[in-house]
Amino acid sequence: MASVFGAPRRRTTLTQNRKADAEKMSKFSFDVLNRCVHPYLGTQDPDVLLGAVFGEDVALTRIQDGILVSHLDPIVGAVKNIGWLAVHVACNDVATSGAPPRWILLLILVPQKEDEQLLAEIMGDVSRAASEIGVSIIGGHTGYSASLSRPLVAVTALGTMTDREPVRTKGARIGDHIFVTKGIALEGTAILAYDFADVAQRLGLSKDELTEARQLMAGVSIIPEALVLAEQGATAMHDVTRGGLLETLLEMAKLSDVGIRVDVKQIPIQRIVARFAAAFQFEPLSMISSGTLVGTIPAEHVEAASRSLLEKGIHFADIGQIIHGSGVQILKDGQITHYQDIRCETDELARMWELYPRNEAHPGTPGILSK
């Protein structure tokens, strides 16, 4: 992929161990899902309004006079913040439907029976995140497995809605404006600051910049802006996770059967993210970015939606529009690059792990490895 922001692509030869580590954080490709997963997901239950669909963030089930919104996400990673992150990222997906998350179910597996302190730390992280969001922990399962080298945390988040139609990834309409909140490459930059601090300093980044980048992780929730945009008539919403903004836009275009055109000059990128992108030479457009929300807003609602976000103190940018066609068009310096293919397994963070192998002194990352 050509670099949208101009950073050159470094190349390296993977060691066998590093390749295995990189594969731990990948999703299956769209082709594999179509062959091995999707054929087995049909249901005859009339109350299933939306089941498992590629690119959709949630499942929707009719319950009495309302709709149950649900989502499951696993995280495999280092100990630091894993429980806190797992809760936030699962609840983020429920919020993209316009429903506030209310309940969570947990699956926590640690490597050894003796890892009681680790289990307690993860539960403490979970409790902290649940308190921040205002969700209740209603059950789950905890255990251990010697086949694991790192803890695994999976969270099922649930919410309900009764007074409006859920927002879906596939709802974008011709003429809608595209809003992006906070900026891009947020989570990936924070992960680099945590887990690649030694490399960052070798590349000229200061300790103050490392601290600033790590603070990006605190903004991982997109619940406030998702609920605001749903209230203001958003036609589609999607949180930006693996594959970055480009992958998110490609999924929205495919599911909505539309084209998307964005102006690279309008895409928000925080100063500290730009510094890390230049130092590590990664492409911000394709970097994991939990904490970033994309919403499509009808032209007649743009002013009200903008005002509501500003009143909440939520930074955002209007980066382009929904157009006829397919795929994503990126306008840069008067030239348009057209992207069509969805590559679920591609993310700039994985490439950083390939470039800078971690050893036992750097055992993992506090970020999302399997979302």
Q: Which residues, in sequence order, are CB contacts of 91 under 8 Å at separation 6+?
A: 101, 104, 133, 135, 155, 157, 221, 223
pTM of the model: 0.86
Q: Show pLDDT as tens, one digit a residue, over the chain (371 residues).
A: 445 555 433 333 333 343 344 444 456 777 888 899 888 888 888 988 887 777 777 899 999 889 999 999 888 755 578 899 999 999 999 999 999 999 999 999 999 999 999 999 999 999 999 999 999 999 999 999 988 888 999 999 999 999 888 999 999 999 999 999 999 999 999 989 988 999 999 999 999 999 999 999 999 999 999 999 999 999 999 999 888 999 999 999 999 999 999 999 999 999 999 999 999 999 999 999 999 999 999 999 999 999 999 999 999 999 999 999 999 999 998 899 999 877 655 689 888 988 988 654 444 444 444 44
β-pair partners for 339: 328
Residue 54 is predicted with a pLDDT of 75
Provide DSSP, 21-62.
HHHHTPPPPHHHHHHHTGGG-----TTEEE---TT---EEEE
Residue 83 is predicted with a pLDDT of 93
Do residues 236 and 171 touch, judged by C-beta distance below 8 A? yes
Residue 274 is predicted with a pLDDT of 98
* Interatomic CA distance for residues 315 and 228, integer angstroms: 13
* Interatomic CA distance for residues 123 and 105, integer angstroms: 12
Do residues 235 and 296 touch, judged by C-beta distance below 8 A? yes
Domains and CATH numbers, the chain: 57-161 (3.30.1330.10), 168-355 (3.90.650.10)
Provide DSSP, 263-274.
EGGGS---HHHH
- Give the β-pairing of 177-181 and 293-297: antiparallel
* Interatomic CA distance for residues 190 and 211, integer angstroms: 9
Residue whose tokens read 């594969």? 23
Q: What is the CA radius of gyration of the chain?
A: 20
3-state secondary structure 278-309: HHHCCCHHHCCCCCCEEEEECHHHHHHHHHHH
* Interatomic CA distance for residues 176 and 287, integer angstroms: 25
* Interatomic CA distance for residues 53 and 38, integer angstroms: 8
3-class secondary structure, 215: helix
Residue 313 is predicted with a pLDDT of 96
* Interatomic CA distance for residues 155 and 166, integer angstroms: 21
Residue 12 is predicted with a pLDDT of 35
Residue 18 is predicted with a pLDDT of 37
Amino acid (one-letter) located at 150 = R
Q: Which two tokens stand for residue 151?
A: 């803890």
* Interatomic CA distance for residues 167 and 229, integer angstroms: 10
